[in-house]
Amino acid sequence: MQETATLTLGDKVIQLPVIIGSEGERAVDIRSLRKKTGLITMDPGLANTGICKSQITFMDGEKGILRYRGIPVEELAENSTFVETAYLLVNGELPSEEQLKEFSLLLTEQSLIHEDLKAFYGKFPSRSHPMGILSSMVNALRSFYKDLKIDNEEAINITLARLMSKVRTMAVMSYKISRGHTVAYPKPEYCYCSNFFYMLYHSPVRKREINPLFVKALNVFWILHADHEQNCSTSAVRLVGSGRVNLYAAISAGIAALWGPLHGGANQAVIEMLIKIREKGGKIKPFIEKAKNKKDPFRLMGFGHRVYKTYDPRAKIIKKVCHELLASLKTNDPLLDIALELEEIVSKDPYFMDHHLYPNVDFYSGIVLRALGVPTNMFTVMFAIGRMPGWVAQWKEDADDPKWKLYRPRQIYIGKNKRSYLPMDKR
């Protein structure tokens, strides 16, 4: 028997069905609320609003759980690669050996950039942020490729490979061009992550070997960022996609949403915060006090999460990678020392514990990217590359839904009541 929730409005009583997810999550289905009562719900920030049913990612913020298609992210980070995880997210299952081989071949084939696209780079002002460039370039891809047939698995994988490969190439290209350096294309004998380093480090006058530990660290970084349920950028992809726009436009919207410091830009903001602390002599206490002062707009970047009310499971994984990577390089990063001291202080402070402000994935990922030699202004671009398969999977899930609806939120108007137009001489 269908469980229901009872809503009483004066002398009127209505029953609303309760939806139960496969992991026991429960939601009151209010689709008939306005029709039955004339009311809508108010939920600024959408923290209590489910916008879809999804089979892609499961999160439990109270228990610190994150799973892709049912597989714990810890197991994927330990055993999988980013390419395999991307296939899992979009297709629903881990690939067979042959499927993985075919998909990897697609990634290589799709890595080239149309020569006409290169002309776009010279038109951006020199101070343009890489995220703004990337969003524009992804949107421009639609001019070079046909509309996607969403009911064709082969076409979906080709498009996923096209986005993953071309975004990786465009990201490195924007950086190299900004430095006036030669741009190299990926090599077919390298894996996806190795090719990123090959392109980033490439120099016609100096050869640099690709460190296997770097490849492993980058695989983990991108796996941890591959999807994260209905966050700001993913919701943007779904919302824009609900208008049945092309996939490239929807992904471009996701990149723009990811740009902000409260979402994808947080990893760059963490590094900038740690640098400020170092410039102040490494004294952390004044920054702690500023963060606790409700009248001060300053906040500790890399702490807290809208969903996780315990330690971010991704933060545990990336922290381990961070230590292993720096230990193998036999180099000390003063920012890591500050980060560790900051985490220790915060973890013992009742204020932060009471407000569930634990380190999140951004807190350590910036240190990892620094160690890998990634420029700071490319940190958010790295996030976008990792999130590409999640965005495609979420867009496809919406597109495949026979009950697809155009997203159209409501509002409560609090402006002026009806009034007459005043002629200019009476204002």
Active-site residue list: 305, 362
Number of helices and strands (H, E) in the chain? Answer: 18, 6
Helix (H) or strand (E) holding 382: helix 379-400
| Contact in structure between 161 and 106 (CB atoms under 8 Å) | yes
Which DSSP string do the residues of 392-410 spell out, in sequence order?
HHHHHHHHH-TT-------
Interstrand relation of 26-28 and 57-60 (parallel, antiparallel or unpaired):
unpaired
Nearest alpha-carbon partner for 262 in 198, 228, 305, 223: 305
| Contact in structure between 108 and 188 (CB atoms under 8 Å) | yes
For residue 282 the two structure tokens come to 């490494």
HSE (side-chain half, CA atoms, 13 Å) at 131: 22
Distance CA 94, CA 415 (A): 52
For residue 415 the two structure tokens come to 């402006």
Nearest alpha-carbon partner for 194 in 212, 182, 206, 167: 212
Interstrand relation of 26-28 and 12-20 (parallel, antiparallel or unpaired):
antiparallel
To which residue do tokens 């890595």 refer? 111
| Contact in structure between 239 and 407 (CB atoms under 8 Å) | yes
Tell me the sheet residues that pair with 19. Answer: 27
C-beta atoms surrounding 294 within 10 Å: 5
Q: How far apart are the first and last CA of the chain?
A: 63
Tell me the sheet residues that pair with 60. Answer: 65
Residues 166-194 as b/e (b if ≥16 CB within 10 A, e otherwise) read bbbbbbbbbbbbbeeeebbbbeeebbbbb
CA torsion 201→202→205→207, rounded to 10°? Answer: 70
Beta sheet of 57-60, edge-to-edge order: 57-60, 65-68, 71-72
